[in-house]
Structures are given as structure tokens and as C-alpha cells.
Structure 1
Amino acid sequence: MHLHGPTTARRADPGSTGAGPADTQLKDMRTGNATLPQEVWQKIASHLGVRNWAQVSGTCKATWNVELQDVRVYECDRLGNAGVAWLLKRAQHARTLLIGELFGEALQDFALGLLQSPHSFTNLAALSLNREDNYRHKRTHEEAEALLMMWTWLAGQARQLQYLNLTLIQLKGLPRLPQLKHLQLHLKNGDCRRVARCMTDALPSLQTLHIICLNDSQDDGPELLLAAMTQLRSLALRGVLPASLALPESTQLHVRVHDIHAARHPIWISLLPHLRTFHIDMQKEDSSFDAKENIPLFLFGPSSLETLIVSVRGFETVKAPIQLRGSFLEVERLAIDTLDDIHVEVPAGHGWRLVNFHTCKSLGIRLHDMENFVDNRPEFSFQFTTLQGMGVMLLTRYMAERGPLDGIESHWS
């Protein structure tokens, strides 16, 4: 069944040709003279992908030479030499370029086509070269060289680049990019140390920096001496344990660690004025997490933290409740996520705006001050298979007795 809304096309007069405005537009579409604006075709092209757009654009004269603005290239596109040449001709004014899952011949073809093309990418504002997921596939020496060559070539052309997402091995440093504002780097630890030495001089306008360590090595971390980068507003570190770290006074720090050694390292104590997010991500670890012994001591005292996330396989003391105090009560967002049982004791005085307690097994919550919890109106999410105790049921009953409260929603699963 097809439903159509009202049409503005006039009913044809008996003596006319019957071609109203709508009929004329359809006729134009059939003859390849569609009147859609260029920016509409550009949006359509970005959603279809390179290969599909190449097939579609050949059916209409208006789309033959559309200048592509948002270009994403993947292995599945199977461009070949001719396809790469076709793309580069139409993408020379692109603002966004994402080069994703390219391996073997597809990568070599694209790199060679890029270097031999008479067209350049001088208008690029955003570039994403390779992705972290690609490191599940072990790069050959030739592939690594092709990626590095593409990056060097593009960096020399893209003088308007403001966003860069770069995943490379054997990266020795960074060229000077005075206009770059946002940088995300996926590097091995050794490369990270080399790149860190040149950041201050190479990136004077940088506002956000996200560094992800690909090989999860916590030894011999980089020296991140970034105090001279006065424009830097946010630094995010994932799997990176710096040997030293210096930041501008107003820079916010967001940290994600993957082992106990990094979580309890004393360097974070000296950075408490900057620290806004601390994420202990250990769900891939085989051993359970001891909430009494392994929680970093600085989390039990006052801090400037806004978000605290603990993601672990399980807690060793599952029968004893986890006593929340210090930063666990002061943060705006608290999330505890485990694959095993969890029992949490919540004292009065917390300041949460968002709280998540998620488990694949049983959940127990004891609220010391239920009225305070409801009056603060946090957004909360509790996920569990079974319940321990009556805490959650008592909370449900208390909320029902208080009547509907604006701003509070509950979803039980």
C-alpha cells in the first residue's frame, strides 16, 4: 500500500498537453536534468559511499560532476586504479576525508593514486586515516609504509586541517600544523614517546588531544610536557601511563586505565586539580577486583572529578557491600559495571546527577537516606538478573508513594 499526500499539480485542461509543474519535474528527472541543489547531491553521495555513488551518479547528467564534500573510503569499495582516479578528480574540494579499512592491493592502489594524482586536498578540514580496529589485522611492512606515505602527502596539502584522527605505527613525529585544533592519536608506546617530544612546537593551536596506546603497555610511558600549549582545553589518555605530565592551568584531564598498577600510580595525585574523568576499565582481566585493596587512595578523598567509572569482571568481596565514600559520592556521574554480583551501600550526602549500577548477575543496593536520593532526582540506571535484599524494591515503593516526580524516569530490566 502506498499513501501520498496532497499534490499541487494542476489538473490538465482537455486541450492542453497535460504537463503541469509536477509532470515537468518528472520529465526533467527522466531526461537527466534534475534540478536538485548541488549540496543535496553531496549529502546523498556521503550517505551512499564511494562505490554506490559512482554507480548512481552515471544515471543523471546533474550528478556526473558533483564535487564530493564528505568522502569515506573502505576496503569494500574495491575502487581499483580507475576508481581511485575517478574519486580524486571529484574529491579535490572535499572538507572531510576518512580512509578506513584498506589492506593489501587496495591500500597500495589508493596510496599510489593519491601520489600520482594532479588533484590535491587543500580544502580538508577533517582527516581520519586508518582506525584502531585495523590493528586486529597485523600490518605488513609495505602496508605500514603506504599509510605513512599517505599521511605525509596529505599533511603537506591540508593547510586548513582542524581535526585529525591518526592511527599509525612507525610514526617518528608530527609536522607543524599551526591551524589544527583537535587531534586523536592511536599509537604504540614507543611512537607515543617520540611524538610527545614535538607536540608543543608542532601544534600551537591545539584545543583537544586524545592519545590511545595500541599495545596496552604501561612501561616507559611518554613525557607529556604540555604546559606551553596554552590553547589546550582537554587531554584524554587511554592506556597511557605518562612518565611525567605538565598541563596548562585550565586543561581538563580524562584518564582510562586498564590495570591496577596504572590505576594506583602516584602521578594522578599530583594531577587532581586537572582530573575530571577517571575510568578503571578491567573487564578483560581474568582476576576479580578487590574493592578494599585496589581502589586508588585518592578516590577516597576530595577531588575535582566529575565522572568516575569502574568496569571490572567481578569484585572479590561480593558478599560484603562496597562502601561508597569520597569521590564516589561527590562526582556528578558514577558508573559501576561488572559481570559478577555487586552489593553497594549508599550513604547520605551524595551529589550524583547520573548513576549506573550494572551487573550480569545479582544486584543489591542499600540506601541509607532514600528521601535524599529521590529529592536529588538523579538519572539512574540499574541493570541486573536477580535482586539481593529489598533496597531496590523499597526505592520503587517510596517513589510510588511520593507520586510522579518530574525529571525522574525508571526503566527496569
Structure 2
Amino acid sequence: MARLEHNRELSLAVLRPILSNLPSGFDRVPLEMSQEELKEADLPAELWARVSAHMSLRDWVRVSGTCRSTRAVRLKKLTINRKTPAAGVQRASRMLESAEALRLPAHYLQQIEEGVAEGLYSIKQLQQLIIDAPPCTDSMLSCLSWLLTEACKVEVLVTPAGSRPYFPPMAALKHLQLTFFNDPGNFCRAVRNCTALETLHLHTHEGRMGSKVFRLGGLEMDGLPHLRLFVLKAYAQDLIKVPKGCQVHIQVYCGTDMQRSMWRGVLGNIHSIDASILMPDAPILEVFLDKAFTPLQNLRILNLHVYSSSFVFNLAEFARVEKLCISGRNLNIYLPAGVSWDTLELDAKDKLNLKFEDLNGFLLSVPRFAARFRFLRNTQALQLCTAMALNGIKCAFEDPEEEQDKYMFWYPVEQRPFGCCCGACLDCLVASGQAVEHVAEAGLPHHPPPQHDIFEFDYGPGIGGLFSDEEEEIFDEEDEEEGEV
């Protein structure tokens, strides 16, 4: 009895923050109920089922059993993490029969395999499987192929891949995201039987240009007739083929000659590129435009990473793409009149300098704009905000929560910027409704940052990233020193 009372106390502590953050219109337990009344409340199983959709497995274990009707609830989404207690793992195993989405660390795979092999439970209803890593070893993944033959309804699979991955014929698999830690060999052979694939996302653990580069052999994906999105990050290969209508998202170096590279056969398919320019100047930018940018006539998204503060980027050169994202330590951006994008995002780790040739024209021609920075080097961003107010455009502004965070403003307010747009990673699949999101632990609720319209901005001396005269002199001296180096 004492243990049950203790669990009831835990359930109340877990439930209160969850109930207070449920979506509007949700049938709630009145928060003004006393603790004794909550203890005696026997909520219907239907309500518990709706509440459980907003809870992690760890929190559900603490709550379930304190009310008789919770035993009738079968969870559709199970999340096992390294902090999940043994009771939680056991309970998750018993609920696998009805679960449609499972997320777990790689080292639990063998435990799940043993239970399925012994007939203790089934995973035939799973539609989404997410395996977290690192750390990860080939031995942890040794049972994955066998488990996938049992999970015949899986449509979304996110997993690390071993040295020589193999996937059995999976007629339902539509979305595959793989992380490689070692050279995977001829990867094409691993997925040639997954003919229903629509999106394929491949990347190394480091996931950035300049990280370890593995060779996959020939990437002949034209045998996957339904493939419409192929994302390849931080890899090098000898050959690539994709179906005619497949969009390709890749990473390139600034000096890559696309017409002589392994991409030459799919130039018309390349929809998005991530490019890095270490020390941009006029000659280097000209090489990038001539060899990497110009040959891609169907390019729609350009993510450009730069590492210099002295070079001024004239964005007229990139006017033909629909979405332009530029990031770097310090950014000096010139926006000429008469150019436009569907989306423009500027992300400065430190200082951002904007110069508009036609401020009002920019607002009329660019429907989505965002800037992130620690310091602004002039008042044109403030002028942009004023122009938005005069034109009736509302803008969201976010203050940094930590010292190392940055200021950010964007419009339109309802579309938060700086998210991934590849369409094939887990975040994109969740955003598009093709995958479900797994709930985080209670006690760590995600509260969206407050949004303020333009009339609430307060730019005092040294506030909001604007400099005082003394600060400007200091940073001018620093820039001169950087230029000397």
C-alpha cells in the first residue's frame, strides 16, 4: 500500500506539467482538484489513451497502475532511452504487440530480438523504427536484418549502419535514413530489394563537409522506381544514378567541377547543395559560380557556409535560386535592388552587416526572411523592421536565453526559420506528417519562444545587438587586425 501511495505521488508530479501543456480544446483534468481528489479519480481509459500520446514511456510507467483504467491503454508510440528503468523496458516489451512506432538505443536490439524469437511478443504492427546512436558497434546491429524481416509493415526506418549493411526485402519501407560510422562497401546491394523507397538519406556520423569521407562504390539508384528524394552528405563515390524525377541534395566543395565530377550524369536532378567556402574572395567566388553553381540549372536551394568577415557578398549572383541560406562567423551582405527569393536566411555566429539598395522593394519581393546574429554592424536591420511596421508586416523577435545564444528575427511570424528542408531526414518527415514525433521526458517541456510583433522592439545603446560608438571603434580595430592576418 505504501508503494502504491508513493507511485500516486509520482504520477501527480508527472501529470500536472503534462496536463497544463496539452493542446487547446483538450479535455483536461481540472488543475484545481485537490491532491486527495486526484488520487481517488478513476479517469476513463479513453482519456488516458489521449494523455499517453503526450507522455514518454518513462513518465507513463510512473503514472500507469495508479488508476485501474490505465491497464486498458495500449501505447502506440514507445520510446526507450538510456534512462528508462528496467520496469519501463519490460512494460514496453509487453506493449510491442500493438505499438506502431518504436524508438530505442542500439544496445537494446538484442533484447528485443530474444523476446520476438521466443514468441513473447511480436513487432509485426510496427510502422516506424528509430534506432539511436552513437555509440554503436557492428555487434549491436548484428540482429537488425532479422528483426526487419519480422517488422514487415515498417515504413520509416532511421538507424546506424554497420560495416556491411544488409536490408531484407521490405515491401512497405518508404523512408530510410542511415548513419555510417565505417566504410559500408557497395551500399547499392544493401537496398536493391527495398523497391518502395521514396526518400533515402545517407550521411556520416560527423555529418559535415571535411569529416571522414567513405566510399560507397557505385550508387546506382535507378533501380528504385519510386525514389523521389536522395540526400547524400559527406560522401565520395565513383558513380551515381537516380530515377528521372528524383531530386538530389548533396554537399560540395567550392572548387568542385560539377561537369567533370561523379555528379555529371545527374546535374538536372540536383535540387539543393550545401557548399563551404573557407576564405571567400572574388576569384574563389568566381570559380565556385563557374564550376559548381552555374551548371546546376535546376538548383532551387543553396546553403552557403563562409568563414571570413572582410568579403562583401553581393547576392545578385544567387538570385535564380528559390531559397538562399548563408551562414558564417561574420557576414557582410549586400542586397541589390531588383533581386528576390522565396526565402532568405542569414545566420551570423557573431556580427551581421546588412546593406539594402532598395529596402521597400526587398519587403515586397521576399515573402520569407530571417536573420540570426549576436551583433548588428549598422542600423539597416532596424530600418527594415521599421519598414515592415509601416507596411503592416508582423515580425517575430527572439532574445537569447543564454550568453552564447543569438538574437533572431523573422517574418512571417508563423513560420519559424533555420529548419532543415531536405525532405528526407526525420525532422522533415515529422514536419510533413510522414513520420510521428516521439515525446520527450516530462520535466523538460519544450516551450516555443515568445514572439513579439514589430511594435515591441527596444533597441537601446548596446541592447539588441546594436553598438555604441565606443564598441564600434573596438570592433573596427579587431577587423583591421583580422585583415592584417
1:342 aligns with 2:331: yes
Asked if structure 1 preserves the Cα contact closer than 8 Å seen for 2:251 and 2:273, the reply is yes
Corresponding residue for residue 247 of structure 2: 252
Partner of residue 88 from structure 1, selected from 93, 96, 102: 93
Question: Can you list the C-alpha shifts for 1:73-102, whole angstroms capped at 9, x where unaligned?
Answer: 1110132xx6544432222121111113x6
Higher relative contact order (CA 8 A, sep 6+): 2
Asked if structure 2 preserves the Cα contact closer than 8 Å seen for 1:263 and 1:280, the reply is no
1:239 aligns with 2:226: no
Percent sequence identity over matched residues?
Answer: 22
Question: Can you list the C-alpha shifts for 1:266-293, whole angstroms capped at 9, x where unaligned?
Answer: 33454332122212268xxxx6455641
Deviation at 1:65, TM superposition (A): 4.3
Corresponding residue for residue 479 of structure 2: none
Asked if structure 2 preserves the Cα contact closer than 8 Å seen for 1:361 and 1:384, the reply is yes
Pairwise mapping of residues 9-158 of structure 1 onto structure 2 (< 5 A)? 30=40, 34-37=43-46, 40-79=47-86, 84-100=89-105, 103=107, 109-110=111-112, 112-131=114-133, 134=134, 137=135, 139=136, 144-149=138-143, 151-158=144-151
Corresponding residue for residue 209 of structure 1: 200
1:299 aligns with 2:293: yes
Going from structure 1 to structure 2, the CA distance change for 1:235 and 1:325 (only over 3 Å counts) comes to same
Partner of residue 364 from structure 1, selected from 345, 353, 362: 353
Unaligned runs of 5+ in 2: 1-32, 398-408, 410-456, 458-463, 465-485
Paired positions, count: 358
Asked if structure 1 preserves the Cα contact closer than 8 Å seen for 2:45 and 2:73, the reply is no
Asked if structure 2 preserves the Cα contact closer than 8 Å seen for 1:332 and 1:352, the reply is yes
Asked if structure 2 preserves the Cα contact closer than 8 Å seen for 1:211 and 1:236, the reply is yes
Corresponding residue for residue 320 of structure 2: 330
Rg comparison, structure with higher value: 1
TM-score, normalised by the number of residues in structure 1: 0.74
Aligned partner letter, 2:293: L
Matched residue SS, 2:273: strand
CA distance in 2, matches of 1:46, 1:393: 43
Going from structure 1 to structure 2, the CA distance change for 1:29 and 1:57 (only over 3 Å counts) comes to same
Matched residue SS, 2:139: helix
CA distance in 2, matches of 1:383, 1:375: 21
CA distance in 2, matches of 1:223, 1:405: 53
Pairwise mapping of residues 215-294 of structure 1 onto structure 2 (< 5 A)? 216-218=211-213, 220-257=215-252, 260=254, 266-280=261-275, 288-290=279-281, 292-293=283-284
TM-score, normalised by the number of residues in structure 2: 0.64
Going from structure 1 to structure 2, the CA distance change for 1:231 and 1:110 (only over 3 Å counts) comes to closer
CA distance in 2, matches of 1:53, 1:387: 46
1:160 aligns with 2:169: no
Going from structure 1 to structure 2, the CA distance change for 1:52 and 1:347 (only over 3 Å counts) comes to closer
Going from structure 1 to structure 2, the CA distance change for 1:369 and 1:273 (only over 3 Å counts) comes to farther
Matched residue SS, 2:222: coil
Asked if structure 2 preserves the Cα contact closer than 8 Å seen for 1:308 and 1:333, the reply is yes
Deviation at 1:335, TM superposition (A): 1.2
Going from structure 1 to structure 2, the CA distance change for 1:203 and 1:358 (only over 3 Å counts) comes to same
Corresponding residue for residue 12 of structure 1: none
Deviation at 1:110, TM superposition (A): 5.0
Unaligned runs of 5+ in 1: 1-22
Question: Can you list the C-alpha shifts for 1:42-89, whole angstroms capped at 9, x where unaligned?
Answer: 44334433333233222222222432211111110132xx65444322
Corresponding residue for residue 309 of structure 1: 303
Corresponding residue for residue 197 of structure 1: 189
